[in-house]
Structure 1
Amino acid sequence: MKTNFTIRMIAVAAAAILVSVINPLKSVAQTAPIKNIVIVHGAFADASGWEAVYKILVKDGYHVTLVQNPTSSLADDVAATNFALDRQDGPVVLVGHSWGGTVITQAGNSDKVKSLVYVAAFIPAVGESTLDLVQTVKDQPKGILPPDAKGNVYLGKSTFQETFANGQSKEKSDFMYDSQIPLTVKAFTDKVTDAAWKSKPVYAIKPSNDETIDMGLEDTMYKRANAKVTHVTGGHTLFMTQPKAVAAVIEAAANGK
């Protein structure tokens, strides 16, 4: 009897030691900062505009992947984003600008994505398209030209700097205009089928002077997504003019702050 009792006590003690070792390791694993960042650009631009943010994040020890999405349809852009996510070797912070917000809302359902960062971005709900959101406000964006024969939508030259490239130099604005990538009508009307912000932490950056997305609409979308909002001085492409501030929010998301 005494021997059996001693054996049982030894077993209990061993189990307690094992739990004490495992639990701290588990806690560390759960609170460890995320090191993979995937960034999805918006319409009318490509990923190269994120170079300044990229350099800051890489210098700070992050592994950054920039998606060159075709902006041809929601499905195509989600596929391009999922391809980038599949290449990551661990958990990811997924970042989207403008139209890229619609893309990360759908692509963010990947198990690898642990948090979402919306930068002056659209945040549709299930069953909503980007156009649906735009049409909820009275004042429509300036300078969007009618679709061409192939269904591509461009921004006009006369209002490009005022709206999309607000805060950029004229020289930079002219370059951005001449290198713009169109958004298709299909992409603009495709509806989200599964909104990742419903189940994952959301961070959002609101510019002080966004002339592309209605700022009241941004407030509505950010509130609905229960986003932790950071206000940053700048226009719609503030990730180019305020890279340190934008990188700081991304790093906060990576560290769960």
Structure 2
Amino acid sequence: MAHPATRVVLVHGAYADGSSWSEVIPLLTEAGLDAVAVQHPLTTLDAGVQATQRALARSSETTVLVAHSYAGMIITQAGLAPNVSALVYVAARAPDAGEDYTALAQQYAAPPASAGLIWQDGYGRLSDEAFLTDFANGVEPSRARTLLAAQGPIADTLFASSTTVAAWRSRPSWYVVSAQDRTINPDLERFMAARMEATTSEVDAGHLGLVSHHREVAAVIIEAAGHRN
């Protein structure tokens, strides 16, 4: 990379908020990168894309755009911004343009976490058991309970839309597979990473590898930025 990125924009997934990147951010800062965590409302794809575009537009500096989980939808749509030099997917959705992600996921065995989703008044959350056992598996227990306390409920409209572009088709991409993921089937993650011809690595982590294996995840982001770790 002739011109290394100086900035990283991090986008959180469903059932979470920007604090899910708390372990990664200090490592990026130590590497000389300016890290920004997007707070998006978990209501619609468009709302998440708009929040991410606002974060990208705050600076013209070359930026690596990073997603965890559902936010892969967001960076796939928003990643064509002119200042985005690379995309990093961390156990994340990586749909093609116009693809029905739900139909794609149904080609693989359903992950255990999906059985723990509870809906009330148009919003969904994971049960405490599903969150701790299937979403945060492998995370130190006290940290997992802190994340549970900050769980972001999702609107029933969040998963309704498809991306209209696939930024990974024209941006260098990296993918971190979570081998012990109980929220997205690891074989689906491997399929998406291979399809996008991403630089791929695996961590022996559950869905929250960005927490339990934050050093490995940060190292991938730093590599994508064109920096030596």
C-alpha distance in 2, partners of 1:110/1:180?
Answer: 29
Determine which structure has the larger helix proportion and give its number: 1
Q: Which has the larger displacement, 129-138 or 207-216?
A: 129-138
Matched, 1:245 2:216: yes
Q: What is aligned with 2:40?
A: 69
Q: 1:231 aligns with which of 202, 210, 215?
A: 202
Alpha-carbon spacing, 1:107–1:204, altered in 2? closer, same or farther (3 Å)? same
Alpha-carbon spacing, 1:184–1:131, altered in 2? closer, same or farther (3 Å)? farther
* Shift of residue 138, structure 1, vs aligned partner: 3.2
C-alpha distance in 1, partners of 2:139/2:97?
Answer: 34
Q: What is aligned with 1:200?
A: 171
SS in 2 for 1:240: helix
Q: What is aligned with 1:179?
A: 150
Alpha-carbon spacing, 1:227–1:118, altered in 2? closer, same or farther (3 Å)? same
Q: Gapped runs of 5+ residues in structure 2?
A: none
| 1:32-181 alignment, distance < 5 Å | 32-142=3-113, 143-150=115-122, 152-181=123-152
The count of corresponding residues between Structure 1 and Structure 2 is 227
C-alpha distance in 1, partners of 2:90/2:120?
Answer: 28
* Shift of residue 227, structure 1, vs aligned partner: 0.8
C-alpha distance in 1, partners of 2:148/2:163?
Answer: 28
* Shift of residue 255, structure 1, vs aligned partner: 0.6
- The alignment yields a C-alpha RMSD, in angstroms, of 1.7
What's the CA shift string for 1:199-228, capped at 9, x where partnerless? Answer: 111100011211110011111111111111
Q: Which has the larger radius of gyration?
A: 1
C-alpha distance in 2, partners of 1:129/1:249?
Answer: 28
For 1:133, the aligned partner's letter is L
Structure with bigger RCO (C-alpha 8 Å, 6+ apart): 2
Q: Gapped runs of 5+ residues in structure 1?
A: 1-29
Q: Which runs of 4+ in 1 moved over 3 A?
A: none
C-alpha distance in 2, partners of 1:157/1:46?
Answer: 17
For 2:152, the aligned partner's letter is I
CA contact (8 A) 1:202 1:225 kept: yes
What's the CA shift string for 1:59-81, capped at 9, x where partnerless? Answer: 11111111011111000000000
Q: Which has the larger displacement, 75-84 or 65-74?
A: 65-74
TM-score scaled by length of structure 1: 0.83
C-alpha distance in 1, partners of 2:58/2:225?
Answer: 18
SS in 2 for 1:66: strand
* Shift of residue 51, structure 1, vs aligned partner: 1.4
* Shift of residue 162, structure 1, vs aligned partner: 1.7
SS in 1 for 2:194: helix
For 1:198, the aligned partner's letter is R
What's the CA shift string for 1:84-109, capped at 9, x where partnerless? Answer: 00012321100000001111000101
Matched, 1:220 2:191: yes
* Shift of residue 185, structure 1, vs aligned partner: 2.5
SS in 2 for 1:37: strand
Identity rate, percent: 36
